[in-house]
Amino acid sequence: MENSEITILLVDDEPDILEFLGYNLGREGYKVLKAKNGQKALNLIKQHRPHLVILDVMMPVMDGMETCLEIRKNPDIADTLIIFLTARGEDYSQIAGFEAGADDYITKPIIPKVFVSRVQALLRRLKEVPKNTSIITLKGFTIDKSRYIVIKDDQEISLVRMEFELLLFLVSQNGKVVSRDKIFDNVWGEDVIVGDRTIDVHIRRIREKLGISSIKTVKGIGYKFWEG
């Protein structure tokens, strides 16, 4: 996930702090929302579903602790990440904060770089791309085995089963020339017999979709997947 896809809501009654934190997070590319009390924060959260809420503990109307509890109480938004802001040295209030369901606790005075680091540490796991075991990245394109697509210039190209399997086999030989016989044995199986033009037709269709240079012919020998 990109930073620009991540929304952070800042909640503090002091406009200066809002401005200061917003500036620092904005510089990292995050989308930033602001609210000046817990009540307004809750409305914004329900509406915009931010990924992270940074709450000042001390606020009029509805303080940070109370806001945090409200967030955790509502199943729709309960999994929102929450960071508390508080004055230094109030160790006991930290405990209360975590018990209310905070994910982190940052003490004032705030040092921009430290602040941003903590935010990033908390968001890091959000950004992780779900593990994809089946993606092959080549020079010109990416093959996604599990989705049956090839991505070229940010374009999704879908191949049909036979094309995909043939391509996959050629790619798996990383650049080596493979004879038609080997291709037949590996893609079709030793016992299946098909005409000799069958491969050509599939190769042609792959070339049509991925570009003429994707597969190179070595006349009299076989084919190879293009490399550099």
Partner DNA sequence: ATAATGGTTAAATAATCGTTAACTTATTAG
Partner DNA sequence: CTAATAAGTTAACGATTATTTAACCATTAT
Binding site for DNA (CB under 7 A): 160-163, 180, 188, 192-195, 197-198, 200-204, 207, 217, 219-222
Please list every residue from 126 through 165 that binds a second copy, using CB under 8 A: 128, 130, 132-135, 137, 146-148, 158, 160-161
Pick left, alpha or beta for residue 153 (phi over 0 → left; psi -120 to 50 → alpha; otherwise beta). left
Choose, by CB under 8 A, the member of 46, 49, 73, 108 that binds a second copy.
49
Nearest distance in Å: CB 60, a second copy: 26
Choose, by CB under 8 A, the member of 7, 101, 138, 169 that binds a second copy.
101
Q: For strand 178-179 and strand 215-218, is the pairing parallel, antiparallel, or unpaired?
A: unpaired
DSSP 96: H
C-beta of residue 203 within 8 angstroms of C-beta of residue 182: no
218 binds a second copy (CB under 8 A): yes
**Given the complex with DNA, which of 142 and 217 has the nearer CB atom?**
217
Choose, by CB under 8 A, the member of 3, 177, 204, 207 that binds a second copy.
177
175 binds a second copy (CB under 8 A): yes
**Given the complex with DNA, which of 129 and 192 has the nearer CB atom?**
192
DSSP 191: T
Nearest distance in Å: CB 139, DNA: 20
Query: Please, which residues have CB within 8 angstroms of residue 223's CB and are 6 or more apart in sequence?
Result: 170, 177, 178, 180, 183, 199, 203, 215, 216, 217
Pick one of DNA, a second copy, none as the site partner of residue 91 (Cβ within 5 to 8 A by kind): a second copy
CA dihedral (49, 51, 53, 54) in degrees, to 10, reads: -150
C-beta of residue 85 within 8 angstroms of C-beta of residue 58: no
- Listed in sequence order, the DSSP H helices in 154-196 are 161-172, 180-183
Nearest distance in Å: CB 151, DNA: 17
Estimate to the nearest angstrom the gap between the alpha carbon of 6 and the chain centroid: 11
Which parts of this chain interact with a second copy (CB under 8 A)? Answer: 49, 75-76, 79, 91-92, 94-95, 97-99, 101-105, 111, 113-114, 117-118, 120-122, 124-125, 128, 130, 132-135, 137, 146-148, 158, 160-161, 174-177, 218-221, 224
